[in-house]
């Protein structure tokens, strides 16, 4: 998708800051909308602050700054529709949004994406803003998953992640020695890993004897321009505390925020972080 001037709709976490820096560095950042309650406006000088229902204002902000494209990035939770304060444009979307919300998160996101497309913006993914964000194929750090049990856990965790993704539950799962320890829904990956760390040591690994795997992958039906699974330093640290042996994502199908720091954290804690090529992804499933 050709684009030259980006509007960034920023939610929580590190990803929006990374994208703002990358696109500003290339002279392609037009405007940032900091979503109220999710992004810290102090991180984005010149940003407008908008509530999640102020779709009309967001579109005006981006038009006013001459943007031809929009990227949605960072953590956003589904709003409480009863306390949402939509503007006129948001109000017009509300019936469709409510109907979509009952079908799931993906459907709801699609309603919002479509509104920006109808307003003439190219909707682009974070990986199109900065190609260096995509997980490469192969191990990111010094360690690789070469143990048969670990490969089995990777295959099973990837399979479970695909299944719960198809159900629109979430994108991540933790498997240890064939047992599904945890599945991610609305709590997020960090909370899921903290819960694995709280399980008895009989069912999980420890920093001294690592076992088990976190897998994250896109939902089969999702729009890959929005909400690609993301890992960062906090993911590696959480996985380390949970006693896991490593983290697996599809090569080209997940974002790695600050890959250099992720590599260092993985090597320092003795974890692997691996991007699986498509042929390795659904190969030896259990």
Q: Is 101 in the site for a copy of itself (CB under 8 A)?
A: yes
For 181-217, letters b (16+ CB in 10 Å) and e give bbbbeeebbeebbeebbeeeeeebbeeeebbbbbbbb
Least distance from a copy of itself to the Cβ atom of residue 169, Å: 5
- Least Å distance between CB 154 and a copy of itself? 13
Smallest CA-to-CA distance from 236 within 212, 264, 210 is with 264
Note whether 142 and 267 are within 8 A (CB).
yes
Q: Which two tokens stand for residue 165?
A: 């993704």
Using the rule CB under 8 A, is 203 a contact of a copy of itself?
Answer: yes
Q: Indicate whether 83 belongs to the interface with a copy of itself (CB under 8 A).
A: yes
The region of 16-24, 39-47, 173-181, 242-250 touching a copy of itself under the rule CB under 8 A is: 173-181
Q: Considering the rule CB under 8 A, would residue 277 count as an interface residue with a copy of itself? A: no
Residue 21 in contact with a copy of itself, rule: CB under 8 A = no
207 in contact with a copy of itself (CB under 8 A): no
The answer to whether 70 and 123 are in contact (CB under 8 A) is: yes
- The residues, ordered by sequence, that sit 6+ positions from 146 with a Cβ below 8 Å of its Cβ are none
Residue 180 touches a copy of itself, criterion: CB under 8 A: yes
Please name the residues in contact with 228: beta carbons below 8 A apart, sequence gap of 6 or more. 125, 126, 127, 218, 253, 254, 255
Residue of 36, 89, 177, 237 that binds a copy of itself (CB under 8 A):
177
Integer Rg of the chain from CA = 19
Count residues near a copy of itself (CB under 8 A). Answer: 37
Should residue 221 be labelled a site residue for a copy of itself when binding is judged by CB under 8 A? no
* Structural contact between residues 255 and 229, judged by C-beta atoms closer than 8 angstroms: yes
Would strands 230-231 and 179-183 be described as parallel, antiparallel, or unpaired?
Answer: unpaired
85 touches a copy of itself (CB under 8 A) = no
Stretch that binds a copy of itself, among 22-30, 109-117, 162-170, 261-269 (CB under 8 A): 162-170
One symbol per residue from 43 to 82: x for binding a copy of itself (CB under 8 A), - otherwise; what is it?
Answer: ----------------------------------xxxx--
Beta partners for 275?
Answer: 138, 249
Using CB under 8 A as the binding rule, whether residue 164 contacts a copy of itself is answered as: yes
Instruction: Please report, as ranges, the residues that interact with a copy of itself according to CB under 8 A.
Output: 77-80, 83, 101-105, 152, 160, 163-164, 167-170, 177-183, 185-187, 191, 195, 198-203, 286
């Amino acid at each position: 998708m050709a684009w030259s001037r980006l509007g960034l709709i920023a939610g929580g976490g590190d990803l929006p800051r990374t994208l703002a820096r990358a696109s500003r560095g290339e002279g392609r950042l037009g405007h940032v909308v900091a979503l109220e309650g999710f992004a810290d406006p102090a991180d984005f000088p010149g940003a407008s602050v908008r509530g999640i229902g102020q779709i009309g204002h967001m579109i005006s902000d981006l038009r006013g700054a001459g943007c031809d494209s929009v990227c949605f990035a960072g953590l956003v939770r589904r709003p409480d529709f009863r306390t949402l304060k939509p503007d006129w444009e948001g109000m017009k979307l509300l019936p469709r949004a409510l109907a979509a919300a009952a079908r799931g998160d993906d459907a709801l996101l699609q309603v919002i994406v479509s509104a920006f497309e109808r307003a003439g913006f190219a909707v682009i993914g974070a990986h199109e803003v900065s190609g260096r964000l995509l997980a490469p194929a192969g191990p990111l750090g010094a360690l690789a998953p070469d143990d048969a049990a670990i490969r089995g856990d990777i295959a099973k965790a990837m399979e479970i992640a695909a299944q719960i993704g198809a159900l629109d539950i979430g994108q991540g799962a933790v498997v240890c020695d064939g047992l599904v320890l945890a599945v991610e829904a609305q709590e997020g990956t960090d909370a899921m890993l903290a819960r694995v760390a709280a399980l008895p040591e009989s069912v999980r690994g420890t920093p001294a004897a690592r076992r088990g795997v976190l897998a994250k992958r896109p939902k089969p039906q999702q729009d890959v321009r929005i909400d690609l699974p993301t890992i960062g330093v906090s993911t590696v640290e959480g996985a380390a505390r949970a006693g896991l042996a490593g983290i697996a994502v599809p090569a080209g199908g997940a974002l790695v925020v600050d890959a250099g720091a992720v590599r260092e954290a993985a090597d320092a804690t003795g974890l692997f972080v691996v991007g699986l090529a498509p042929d390795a992804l659904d190969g030896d499933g259990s």
